[in-house]
Amino acid sequence: MWGALTEYSYNPNMIDFKYHTLIHMRDRWNKWRSVLYREYAKPCGCEEEALKNKPDAVGNKEDWEWCVSNVFYTDEFQVVTQISSY
């Protein structure tokens, strides 16, 4: 992500902002991922149904399929969501 950001913008002091920028980007990704899970994947109840429930905000079907299969319906993610819902 940092490479993509610096490719299109230039500031001689850019490296001074790297840490805070990456923290901000991580926070925004986590919040968006949380919305996607809460509104589009979790209500479906199973991976097969969630795969069919692609939100318009996700660019293409392959990106949604990757997110559902490799993030939302992994054992690790399910454990984390169970713990955080207490």
Q: Is 3 inside any structural domain?
A: no
In a domain, 16, yes or no: no
30 located within any domain: yes
Q: Give domain status of residue 77, yes or no.
A: yes
DSSP notation for 1-57: -HHHHHHH---TTHHHHHHHHHHHHHHHHHHHHHHHIIIIIGGG-SHHHHHH---TT
pLDDT for res 42:
93
pLDDT digits (tens, 9 = 90+) for 75-85: 898 887 776 65
In a domain, 74, yes or no: yes
Does residue 56 form part of some domain? Answer: yes
The domain of 80 spans 21-84
Residue 3 has pLDDT above 50, yes or no: yes
User: pTM of the prediction?
Assistant: 0.72
58 within some domain: yes
Number of structural domains found in the chain: 1
Q: What is the pLDDT of residues 11-56, one digit of tens each?
A: 788 888 889 888 999 999 899 999 999 999 999 989 999 999 999 9
Residue 9 placed within a domain: no
The whole-number pLDDT of residue 86 equals 47
